[in-house]
Amino acid sequence: MRKKTIPPREELLRLVGQDMGRAIATRNVLFNQAVADHLGINTTDLRCLDVLDRHKEEPMTPSKLAELTGLSSGAVTDVIDRLERAGFVKRERSTADRRSVLLRLTPAHAQRVAPLFDGIQAAMAELAASYSDAELAVIHDFLSRSVEIARSEADKLRDQKP
């Protein structure tokens, strides 16, 4: 097996920091658009479904969804209305506080949405399996920190006036 030549650090920084980051972001947007199109919803609604799915063990209020997504309360109400009409989410009154509404994913979510991610999840698991534990730890650290940077930069943009 031929050993791979490692590019100079400046080139690696450009490749990882700009080229790959942008390419991954673009491909993720396009993949999510394809999934959303398949489901007949928009990508914001799909991303909100993902947030609900990742936090399904805890009760989710509309205000918590707004906080986690950075959307306004009005925008979240519109998202919930659309997801409810599509059959993916239902609103329930909280038993602890009848004034509070909780959001629940419906069985349609598991039946229609989750399977659309099976292929990409399997391919990513296969890709990850080709790396050592030490390499995976570095990749995890890099991606986790990248997510935090993206969140922080999005918050900064929201705080600025256009």
Q: Residues 97-155: pLDDT tens digits?
A: 878 899 999 999 989 999 999 999 999 999 999 999 999 999 999 999 998 998 899 88
Q: Computed from CA positions of residues 131, 132, 137, 142, in that sequence, does the dihedral angle turn out positive or negative?
A: negative
Domain ranges of the chain: 8-39, 41-105, 107-157
Residue 135 zone, left/alpha/beta (φ > 0; ψ -120 to 50; rest)? alpha
- Report how far residue 69's alpha carbon sits from residue 44's, in angstroms, rounded to the nearest whole number: 9
Q: Which CATH number is 41-105 given?
A: 1.10.10.10
27-67 pLDDT, tens digit per residue, is: 999 999 999 999 999 999 999 999 999 999 888 999 999 99
Q: Computed from CA positions of residues 134, 138, 143, 147, in that sequence, does the dihedral angle turn out positive or negative?
A: positive
Banded model confidence at residue 1, pLDDT cuts 50, 70, 90: low
